[in-house]
Amino acid sequence: MSEDNVTTESGIPVEPFYTGAGDSAEIAAPGEFPYTRGVRPDGYRRRAWTMRQYAGFASAEETNERFQLLLERGQTGLSTAFDLPTQLGLDSDDPRSLGEVGRTGVAIDSIEDMERLFKGIPLADVSTSMTINAPASVLLLLYELTGERQGVAPEQLSGTIQNDILKEYAARGNYIYPPRPSMRLTVDTIRYAQARLPRFNTISISGYHIREAGSTAVQELAFTLANGLAYVQAAVDGGLDVDAFAPRLSFFFNAHNDVFQEVAKFRAARRMWARFMRDRFGAKDERSLMLRFHAQTGGSTLTAQQPEVNLVRVALQAFSAAAGGAQSLHTNGFDEALALPTEHAATLALRTQQVLLHESGVPATADPFGGSWYVEQLTDDLEARAQELIDEIDRKGGSVIAIEEGFIQDQIEESSYRSQLRLERGDDIVVGVNKYRNDEEPVVPIHRLDANLEQEQVARTQALRAARDSGAVESALADVRAAADTPDRNMLEPMRVALAAHATVGEVCGVLREAWGTHDR
């Protein structure tokens, strides 16, 4: 949307935002503190949300092809899915990686893999999100080195690394090191990016996986913001000025089927974060107060039964994200309960966003549900209940301690259990699962992985080791270990040297495993 004078198809003028009589008139306008109604006064009129479809396949080459396809078909940002070994800091030829290489995303072992992943994609012109946490700093450095090889200066690179290790302990399980050294690495990454990669969002504080693990919307909101507070506190305790790094923090929320609750959740999140940043941390820069977020439609809501029905679910969920003011959005493929999305499913998912943008009328006005008695009350109720949980976490000493004690994990597991009971009793209806069943097997083509790709990736990694200067790698890794043992050194500087010398992801993470140990719950 770019027109100043917007009308419906009947010619009725549409204002950039609306106020009304009663309580809603007292709510600040979009773009004004506490940003309940959105971070921009004109919503999507002059700048649409980024369409950032998540993609990752067995090989860097195959993933690059999907990136190119999505960009050609109108996607406006990249989002990278990594395989399980990469997420756990393991190389493809590690015995623990056997059978998992390239299964849930792309395998990245070295700078050579990262170069293949972005071949032909000008990194100065596209923003890239990377869903990576425990080894986030390593993948960020590989991205910077890849840009360097393309002739792109670090300050020109833009994107987001998820780098949210607390939610891994709480909900997802893809952690490596114990929480406290992991928090050190997070702060080091913020400090490094602040100096070298000023256009990169250094953390995407994620409620998505908390919700996928079975939490309620209230818990997603509370635990996500509590984790965000822990990161800000750690950075401030590390000597960083809050207004120097907070504008580059972002959030990642789930979008589920209850449109009204989801819209209210996004509104409450903005309001709560703005007040926390102002009142708890004394942030002065208005950008530090603005909660900007990416949303993804709910993977856990997709069904293998009657998978085409997922198209309706995804459309509703995407609508809630757009009506709730998301800055970027991923829409799931309808076949993702069966396999990685096919080209056809990925295209339909992207087209869902494009219909929403160009045909639905949602972008015409900011906060279209603002003033709804129902949505305003839901916003207040979500905030109040989430604040109760945050207060409890604060009394324990913050998210790190609450996670170490298992409090957050237990809360999520209890909610997940209750949700499953409701489904089994029929209290909650999922179409095609416990009502309106069709017991015929779904007849949809699914994406098939090439079993040979794992062996090919292993061979590439072993060939890289054989060809590199092993002495330079050993020396660089020794310096990484020395930095790990020196708390006031920034870990990313020696890690960057090691990766540039062709050390692998697994080797760098392996050194940190030796220094810091691993987390086990």
In a domain, 515, yes or no: no
In a domain, 453, yes or no: no
The domain total for the chain is 1
The listed range with the strongest mean pLDDT (7-11, 72-76, 79-83) is 79-83
In a domain, 446, yes or no: no
In a domain, 492, yes or no: no
Q: Which run of H or E residues covers position 194?
A: helix 179-196
Q: Can you tell me the mean pLDDT for 335-360?
A: 93
The CA distance from 406 to 394, in Å, is: 15
In a domain, 32, yes or no: no
Query: Which tokens in the block code for residue 66?
Result: 């999907």
Whether the predicted pLDDT of 76 surpasses 50: yes
Residue 160: which domain range? 51-425
pLDDT computed for residue 445 by the predictor: 81
pLDDT confidence of 254, banded at 50, 70, 90? very high
The CA distance from 152 to 118, in Å, is: 13
pLDDT computed for residue 21 by the predictor: 47
pTM of this structure: 0.93
pLDDT computed for residue 23 by the predictor: 43
Cα–Cα nearest to 249, from 269, 220, 222: 269
Burial class (CB in 10 A: 0-12, 13-18, 19+), 481: middle
Model pLDDT for residues 21-70, shown as the tens digit of each residue? 444 446 899 999 999 999 999 999 989 999 988 888 778 998 999 899 88
Q: Which run of H or E residues covers position 476?
A: helix 470-484
pLDDT computed for residue 25 by the predictor: 45
Q: Can you tell me the mean pLDDT for 293-298?
A: 96
In a domain, 305, yes or no: yes
Q: Can you tell me the mean pLDDT for 415-428?
A: 95
CATH of the domain at 150: 3.20.20.240
Share of the chain above pLDDT 70, in %: 98
pLDDT confidence of 501, banded at 50, 70, 90? very high
In a domain, 495, yes or no: no
Model pLDDT for residues 303-328, shown as the tens digit of each residue? 999 999 999 999 999 999 999 999 99
The CA distance from 515 to 508, in Å, is: 11
In a domain, 200, yes or no: yes
Model pLDDT for residues 159-202, shown as the tens digit of each residue? 999 999 999 999 999 999 999 999 999 999 999 999 999 999 99
Average per-residue pLDDT for the chain = 93
Q: Can you tell me the mean pLDDT for 345-355?
A: 95
